[in-house]
Amino acid sequence: MKTELFFRQFLGQEEKLPQWIRESINDKIILYSFVDLDSQYESNQQWLVIGRDNLYIVGKSIEREIKLAEIASIKESDSLSSTSLTFIKAHDLPPLLRVNSTLRQKPMLSQIKFYLEEIVSKNSHALWDKLDADSQYQKMITQKVVEAQSSGKVEDRQTLGRLLTYLKPYRKDLAWGACGAFGATLIGLVPPYVSGKVIDHVVKPFQDGKLDLAEAMKIGWILIATLAVSYAMKELFMWIRLRKMSILGEKVAYDLRIELYSHLQTLGLDFFAKKHSGSIITRVSSDTDRIWDFIAFGIVEVSVSIMMLTSLAIVLITLNPLLGLTMTIPVPLLLISIYFHGERMKRIFIRCWRKWSDVTSVLSDTIPGIQVVKAFNQEEREKKRFHQKLDRVTNEFFNVHLSWTKFWPKLMLGIHAITVLTWSLAFPKLVSSDPTLTAGVFVSFLLYMTMFSQPIEIIGQVTRMLNRAISSAYRIFEILDAQPSIFESKSPIVLSDIKGNIEFKNVFYSYDGVRTVLKNMSFSVKQGEMIGLVGESGGGKSTITKLIARFYDVTNGQITIDGVDVKEIETSSLKKSIGMVLQEPYLFHGSIAENIAYARPEASLKEIISASKDGNAHDFIMRLPFGYDTVIGERGHTLSGGERQRVSIARAILADPKILILDEATSAVDTETERKIQEALDRLAKGRTVFAVAHRLSTLQKADRLIVIKKGEIVESGTHQELLQLVDGEYAKLHHMQSELNAEFVKGE
């Protein structure tokens, strides 16, 4: 959908600042936002425009103009349905301006607040001059809409229709299953009919002396054989249906799991930062299992039940119009009641699965972190937290059971009432020897009546199954509809031999679209150069490395490798050229050899051992009970921190990357282990472009150049010795502080 249509039709506002306002304002426009509430919180149409020198409120004309230099602070306040910005000149004076808007405009207003605070503190526009006001406005306004799009309410028919598309590859199996189901249904109509014929054409004529024994026995055995064959045929058709549909359900669940897991691999880190791992795991496992249940049994059962009801209605009306209509006319009312009950159940089921995700989230938190739980003696607290979550989900499941157990007896009572009414109408006809209702016909009628309740019961049960499946499908499609934040270029460039020349050109980046983490950052790195990134925590050092690896895309600006924009490089060739050794290495459950070879599964044992030797890991591995075949626990918890780090380094060495990222790789180990790790890192860094993030400055003295980051900006750059000569510089202060701490530590010993 085009941006213009989306903004005007669905948001009720312009997709960008009107041209006449741009022409009226004699100022460079930096940012702007739509203001849709007035001072009385009633609907309004104004624009808040920020220029280089002034702030403007524009309605049908420019209504207010305030110099930015007059603004001392900005206060943001939110309510349940609105947000406000108050512009203050001095705390002892009335506010300069207050603007109100709905929460839809909040992201843009928050960015304006952040920008103005930057101006107030730095009195500089340099960081914002390269931002495009139109793209920022459109991105901020649509961001929440795009995120919520997949989780919004979707029509059941759309969800069900989408779910049924997964049956297309298995049309043949579905056809066999349907044939089995319909065949069993049609054959199932034969026994009651034959039973009636036995009464009317064998038993009664024989009792009346109209049929001799031999003839009665002959006809009787033929009818009994027909019964036997029909029962056998029915079970054969049932076997075909069960076999085909149960396997078909597994195939669909398999496809859903593969598609879901594959799609998860395409999503960026920002998606996983917003979703709890327990919720994601539940959707891949439990939700797909509920869909298997519906596909395997629900789809055909509903179709068969509707067909059975239709066939029974025709047969019953044919046998006796009055009694047949008495049985069939109330059925639509019963089905309507089942539908409305299903709607209530669906809402309850959605709440159930959400709260069930909370339970799995607790498990996914505590089980990997069980050492921390025990270290801080928090077992009772975690038990209490688990009980609270479990109590909530159990109460919701109680609501499920209370709802259907209240409804089901009423439904069955309605069916029994129809049966009693039918008996009331049939009994006078039987005792009065009404020729329109013979004993045989009534026997057939009774047997069909017993069959009549079954499809209604099945439809009721499948409705529960359908609601469970649809609520699970909502959650699955929510993930499948999530858009990756990183897109492959339409014509990606494969860099088969990346050299490692990297350049940042006026790079801006924000995680949330409001707070800018990197601001107008520019620097270049030559092939084989080692760059140390230093500075205070939260300054943006790790963000730089994540942008190089393209875990995120820059908000503005450009990053190039060997002169090619990283957005244009094929993702696979980019990732193969980058190796990472992190502060907390992640190891998978499996053997040490498998973990080292993770980046290159085809690597030989000889290559794995060679990488381990270069990573100073071979000696401790050989001391383990099974050497390289030793299975380490989840996250490698059976190894020490230093051992895990050396396995991680060996993994990076085996990958043989051209660009290496070291993020606090030696920060959490003892001195001897640090020495071994540093030796391994020195070997790993040879001939590669290296970015090393460290707070321990002694580990960066071998760097060719140090870049000092403060609040998202480069404040200093140079070698270790050059930066120390800047007495009042940030690096010199950090170095002096760490030297004093080390001296105090040695003195204390």
How far is the C-alpha of 505 from the C-alpha of 559, rounded, in Å? 6
In the prediction, which pLDDT does 151 show? 45
**Sign of the dihedral defined by the CA atoms of residues 66, 70, 74, 80, in that order:** negative
> How does DSSP assign 678-699, residue by residue?
HHHHHHHHTTSEEEEE-SSGGG
The whole-number mean pLDDT for each consecutive block of 10 residues of the chain, a chain of 749 residues, reads 62 82 86 88 88 88 88 84 87 86 86 78 57 80 59 58 83 85 79 74 71 76 83 86 82 86 83 74 78 74 78 80 82 82 76 76 73 73 84 84 82 82 77 66 74 76 75 81 80 84 88 77 89 85 88 86 89 84 80 87 88 85 87 76 83 85 66 68 77 76 85 86 82 76 54
- Given this model, what pLDDT does residue 368 score? 67
* CA distances to 58, 146, 278, 388, 483 from 103, in Å: 20, 15, 29, 32, 23
Give the pLDDT confidence score for residue 672 in this predicted structure.
62
| Contact status, residue 137 vs residue 17, Cβ threshold 8 Å | yes
Q: What are phi and psi of 473, to 5 degrees?
A: -65, -40
CA distances from 301 to 242, 307, 362 (A): 11, 10, 37
The CATH architecture assigned to 502-748 reads 3-Layer(aba) Sandwich (3.40)
Going by C-beta distance under 8 Å and a sequence separation of 6 or more, which residues neighbour residue 135? none
How many Cα neighbours within 13 Å face the side chain of 169? 10
Residue 357 token pair: 């995700």
Nearest in space to 611 (alpha carbons), one of 626, 595, 625, 624 = 595
Q: Which residue has the tokens 């990297």?
A: 502
CATH number of 3-150: 2.30.29.30
Cα separation, 410 vs 412, whole angstroms: 6
Domains 3-150 and 157-320+437-481 fall in the same CATH topology:
no
- Give the model's pLDDT for residue 504: 92
How far is residue 535's CA from residue 155's CA, in Å, rounded to a whole number? 51
Q: What is the pLDDT of residue 560?
A: 92
Architecture of domain 157-320+437-481: Up-down Bundle (1.20)
* pLDDT value of residue 744: 57
Cα separation, 25 vs 20, in Å, equals 9
Nearest to 553 by CA among 539, 563, 568, 541: 568
User: Two tokens at 315?
Assistant: 């047969």
The pTM for the full model equals 0.66
Q: What angle is formed at CA 55 by the lines to CA 51 and CA 60, rounded to 5 degrees?
A: 100
Yes or no: say if 342 and 467 are a contact pair by the CB < 8 Å rule: yes
Delimit the domains of the chain by residue range: 3-150, 157-320+437-481, 325-410, 502-748
Q: For residue 180, what pLDDT is reported?
A: 85
